[in-house]
Amino acid sequence: MMRFLLLFSRQGKLRLQKWFTPISEREKKKIIRDMTNMVLARQPRSCNFLDWKDLKIIYKRYASLYFCLAIENQENELLALEIIHRYVELLDKYFGNVCELDIIFNFEKAYFILDEFIIGGEVQETSKQIVNRSIEASDMLQEFQVGASTDTSPMSE
């Protein structure tokens, strides 16, 4: 099972965080700090896996963004690397040549895609087409609802 996924920039700015187990806010802050410090300090072309407490940290850099995924010890590290890769592909497919700015300005979409791909720390759907279809469908619903009732309370956005 996965424990959390963090996306941060080369400067250590957090761009996306997803926690699959309940963790207190303080603990989260500490983890984020640890992760950015550890991952950013890595030399290029070294191993993509790290030990952290009893977890394995799998990280990979795409352009200016670091993707950092924590998995439990008995999980398959290579597979985790492919999960990161697939997520990047999904983002790429949705945004078309995705870049850091896409995620900054459309973070809710990035979360949507992640929720369709991974549920509660397990991979749910691996097909690019299907994930895309359900994202598009929910986009439509959102537009429809916003159009239909302008006074809908904006609960999160």
Partner 1 sequence: MKRLSSTFMPSNWLSRAQRWRKELDLQSTNLIEVCMALTVVSQIFPKEMIPAILPLVEEKLNHPKEIIRRKAVLALYKFYLIAPNQVQHIHNKFRKALCDKDPGVMTASLHIYLQMIQENPEGYKDLTGSFVNILKQVVGGKLPIDFNYHSVPAPWLQIHLLRILSFLGKNDLRTSELIYEVLDESLRRAEMNRNITYAILYECVKCIYTIHPKSNLLEKAAKCIGNFVLSPDINLKYLGLKALTYVIQQDPKMALQHQMTIIECLDHPDLIIKRETLELLFRITNAQNVVVIVEKMLEFLQNSPDDYTTIDLVGKVAELAEKYAPDNEWFIETMNTVFSLGGDTMQPDIPNSFLKLLSEGFDSVEEDRKLRLFAVDSYVSLLQGETRKLPQCFLQVISWVLGEYSHLSEDHNRSTVLRLLEKLLDMKQTSSETKCWILMAMTKLCEGTAGVCVAQQVSETYISSMDTVLRQRAQELQHLSQDSELREEVLPRDSGLDPMEIDSSLSFLDEFVSGALAAGAAPYKPPHQRQEELAEAKVLSLEPYGLALPISMSSCSITDRHSPTPLSMSSGLSGDSTDVSHRAGLKLDGVQRVWGRDGYLAKKESVEEAAPVQGLTPVHSPSLQNEGDGSHSQTPTPTPTPEPDREKEQLASSLFFGVSSQSSVCLMGKPDSTFNRRRKAKVQAPGVTEQLSSSVAPVSNAVDNLLCNNLQDSNINSVSAASSKQTCELSPRVPAANGTCNTDCGLPESDRKRSNLSISRDNGLVDADSALSEDQGSRSDLCPSSYLPAELCGLYRSEIAPLCTAHSLELSACHVHQGDDMILIIFISNSSDSQVLQIRLDLKSEQLKVTCVSDSSVENIKSHTVAVYQYSLAVKRPGVDVEVDGTLSFLLPAGTPQTKHFSYKLPLTAFIRPLLISTEEYGTMWLGFSHEVKQNLTLVDDGCEPLTFTLNLLKNRLQLHLVEIIGLEGILACRLLQNQPCLMHCRVHAGALAVWLRSPVPELPDCLVYHCQRVLQEK
Whole-angstrom distance, CA of residue 53 vs CA of residue 71: 11
Least distance between partner 1 and beta carbon 132 (Å) = 12
CB contact set of 29 (below 8 Å; sequence gap of 6+): none
Residues near partner 1 (CB under 8 A) are: 18-22, 43, 45-54, 76-79, 81-82, 85-86, 108, 111-112, 115-116, 119-120, 122-127, 129-130, 134, 137-138, 141-142, 145, 152, 154-157
Measured from the CB atom, the residue of 10 and 27 that comes closer to partner 1 is 27
Measured from the CB atom, the residue of 10 and 136 that comes closer to partner 1 is 136
Measured from the CB atom, the residue of 151 and 157 that comes closer to partner 1 is 157
Whole-angstrom distance, CA of residue 3 vs CA of residue 34: 15
**Six token digits for residue 111:** 């979360």
Least distance between partner 1 and beta carbon 74 (Å) = 9
Query: For every residue of 85-105, which 3-state class applies, written as one string?
Result: HHHHHHHHHHHCCCCHHHHHH
Measured from the CB atom, the residue of 96 and 154 that comes closer to partner 1 is 154
Instruction: Determine the Cα angle at 133 with ends 129 and 139, to 5°.
Output: 145
Least distance between partner 1 and beta carbon 87 (Å) = 12
